[in-house]
A and B are shown apart, each in its own frame.
Chain A
Amino acid sequence: MAAVLEARGLSKSFGGLQAVVDIDFSVAQGEVLGIAGPNGSGKSTLFNILTKVPFAADRGAVLLDGRPIQRLRAHEIARLGVARTFQRESVFPSLSAVDNVLLAAEGARRGNFAANLAAAEQALDLAGFPATLHNMVAGQLPVFLRKLVMIASALALQPRVLLLDEPASSLTPQEIERIRDLIAKLVGEGMTILLIEHVLPLLTAVSDRLMVLDHGTLIASGLPADVIANPAVIEAYLGRER
């Protein structure tokens, strides 16, 4: 199947620190590619250089539907359909929940106000955000609802591929279950997803394939069950047995 998003030889360094080293991957339409790795292994940096927010890769190519996008500016990449959420719930605090999502709808569609508003409300519904809280100021919402606003904003862009960076962090087990249901619902609708997650049961349950980074390098990739049994992955997470 043709790749929706493909990375070739992506690398990023900060001074002497190599954060991402020569990473190749591709994700097909409707596929969920899970990304795991210990803290500081370069997972979020990989998302940063894919979206160019806040910085671009030093080397390598990123292709969306076969078209190179690494020379485009960050907002152009977003408009083409690479949507991303952050590990921390990153919203516009003084804007209402619906205005937060409306911005993304306006960024993506350039339609009239009514159509954009309808798209924003639809995205909030899809994310499972309570309809009674649409007009609540985003900064005053609890963490879980702010995460839903962020995910709904990403969905309102009508993305070709959705990059979710630790959507389950700082959430209760019940909330994690709802995130898992949401991802399953999105997959059911044919969404292509790149998922970074530390909660391994969630990651292995929803991912079709898994890749594991350590010190910016790809150390394993394949089916989730095979990857988590890989000795190199166990060593990266737990350390070498002496």
Chain B
Amino acid sequence: MDLQTLVSILESGAALGILYALMAFGLAIVWTTLGIFNFAHGAFIATGAYLAWQFGNAAGFGLGYWAGAILAVLAMFALGVVVQTLLVRPFERHRDIVLLTVITTLAGASIITNLLNVIWGPRMKQIEPALGGEVTVGLVHVRSQELVMVVVVAATLFAIGWFLLRTPLGRSMRAVAQNREAAQLMGLDVRLLYALTFGLAAAVAGLAGVFIGSIRFMSPTMGDDPLQKALVVVILGGVARFTSSIYAAFAVGIIEAFSTYFVGLYWTPAVLFGLMIAVLIIKPEGLFGRRQRSV
């Protein structure tokens, strides 16, 4: 392998990694805070993409890429709150909440995917990128849109980290994830914080959808594959810290890029899932995790 190939594999892995970090964040924060796995996360990614297309593209409302992206993210936040209220909150204090919400969020995913199909049809669409063309930096040729994605996602993850660590609302969200009962006794509205957490996860999933929709073709089931990857990332990284899944996302992105080059596209999921199973056996709390549920 020459240096040029190595660099482009690494570049492609890093671009995938940063996208996976965004996708995994939502799954991780819902798991650590509400203690459930949200199977509708993939459908949120797809819905974010379609909404951005509708708001931004000329064939939709034609508001432009950035207005479309922002409106899609805001709408996804609201959708997240609604989904949490309808599909998760009724089972909040139930003994079997994990199993029940597997079923309800799977049902939610199915309903959302079918609604996307009904509203926008099965034909492939693509969000017009914010920037066309390529940029060359040394040995690396990057699509401009990928560069936009890397910058925006990095800024988003940084902003979320700052929000969780430095703001009263972020501190409350971390507190409620760590000790629900103590949080109630501190006067924190747990029901509201759960809804906001779910909304935040959906908004971030929507943003991931916007970027996927502008570098690949969109379909109502476009979130299925990202959901699997996000699951691999969360399990590989563990959820002990906000940054755990970010490290794991880059690891998965780079492994996927090398695996695609050496083993081929079709075998890459097998490689990733094999790795995930190995981690579950050897270090079940994740490569960067500790044995606890916390952010």
Contacts and interface: CB of A to CB of B under 8 A. Distances in A.
Nearest to A101: B186
B178 to A, nearest CB: 5
B187 interface: yes
B187 A53 contact: no
B168 interface: yes
Interface stretch (B1-9, B82-90, B169-177): B169-177
Nearest to B192: A75
Interface in A70-110: 73-76, 78-79, 83-84, 86, 90-95, 99-100, 102-104, 106-108
A94 B182 contact: no
B124 interface: no
Contacts of B187: 75-76, 78-79, 104, 107-108, 157
Contacts of A74: 184-185, 190
A113 B167 CA distance: 9
Contacts of B182: 86, 90-92, 150, 153
A123 to B, nearest CB: 12
B contact face: mostly helix, strand, loop, or mixed: helix
Contacts of B292: 93
A92 B178 contact: yes
A152 B175 CA distance: 16
A103 B181 contact: no
A51 interface: yes
Interface residues of A, number: 33
B231 interface: no
Size category of the binding interface on chain B: 20 to 34
Interface in B152-193: 168, 171-172, 174-175, 178-179, 181-191
B295 interface: yes
Contacts of B186: 75, 78, 103-104, 107, 153, 157
B185 A51 contact: yes
Contacts of B145: none
B188 A95 contact: no
Interface in B269-295: 292, 294-295
Given A99-B171, A102-B171, A103-B172, A90 B184 contact: no
B180 to A, nearest CB: 8
Contact of B181 (A76, A90, A106, A108): A90
For the complex of A and B, the 9 pairs showing the least CB-CB separation, nearest first, are A107-B187, A74-B184, A79-B187, A78-B187, A104-B186, A92-B178, A107-B186, A90-B182, A92-B175
Interface of B: 93, 168, 171-172, 174-175, 178-179, 181-191, 292, 294-295
Given A54-B93, A75-B184, A95-B178, 9 more contacts: A53-B181, A53-B184, A73-B189, A86-B181, A86-B182, A90-B182, A95-B174, A102-B171, A103-B175
